[in-house]
Amino acid sequence: MSANFWNNSALEPKRQFRFLVTLSLGNQDVQFLAKAVSRPSYTVTSNPHKFFNHTFHYPGRVEWGTITLTLVDALQPNASDLLYRHLSTIGYQNPTSLGEAISTTITKKTATDAFSTFRIDEKGTNDDGTTKDVGSWKLQNAFITEVNFGDHSYDSEDMIDITLTLQYDWAQYHVGPYVAAG
């Protein structure tokens, strides 16, 4: 008997819309503003070795890709304001004078400390229809590399989306409910 979900009604695939992102900007929890998020990805690099008329490839380093997160810009909390203030939290200063232009320093520590937790919790359903935790991705040493504050348009009543790009050193996947390390 096949064990795939096409033939077994007891098995269920993961669904794109069943997720919860855990993140804070400053001291503000903004997880409910998350509209979409990409899951972690990695690439194993290849190192070629040439031997006479042949090329042989050997595996190299694992490189983790970036994550894209889309937030809805709400009036409260104001995600635009939180992300703009995030710049000063990581060490950036507007260059209003030569001294301030020189003293701006963004370090890995300030960038990762300002955005210490980023987790994607995958959700599923129990037999009774209640929600259950299926697994979670936790990004290690994540920091924001790009923010796009979205667009205004008179011909649309859509919500304003803010798109973030995050870089991280590696991701960890945990099956079941997330449990913080002691």
Split at pLDDT 50, 70, 90, the class of 77 is confident
pLDDT value, residue 3: 61
Cβ count near 22 (within 10 Å): 16
- Residue 3 resides in a domain: no
Q: Which is more confidently placed, 85 or 16? A: 85
Global confidence as pTM: 0.81
Q: What is the DSSP-derived secondary structure letter of residue 50?
A: E
Q: Could you give the number of structural domains in the chain? A: 1
- Residue 181 resides in a domain: no
- Tell me how far apart the alpha carbons of residues 106 and 114 are, in angstroms, rounded to a whole number: 11
* Residues in contact with 54: Cβ distance below 8 Å, sequence separation at least 6, in sequence order: none
pLDDT, one tens digit per residue, over 35-67 is 999 999 999 999 999 999 999 999 999 999 999
pLDDT value, residue 1: 47
Cβ count near 119 (within 10 Å): 19
What are the tokens at 136?
């979670």
Closest by CA position to 148, among listed 164, 135, 129, 160:
164
Structural domain of 93: 19-45+59-175
Using DSSP's 3-state secondary structure scheme, residue 120 falls into strand
CATH of the domain at 120: 2.30.110
Check whether 146 has a pLDDT greater than 90: yes
Q: What is the DSSP-derived secondary structure letter of residue 31?
A: G
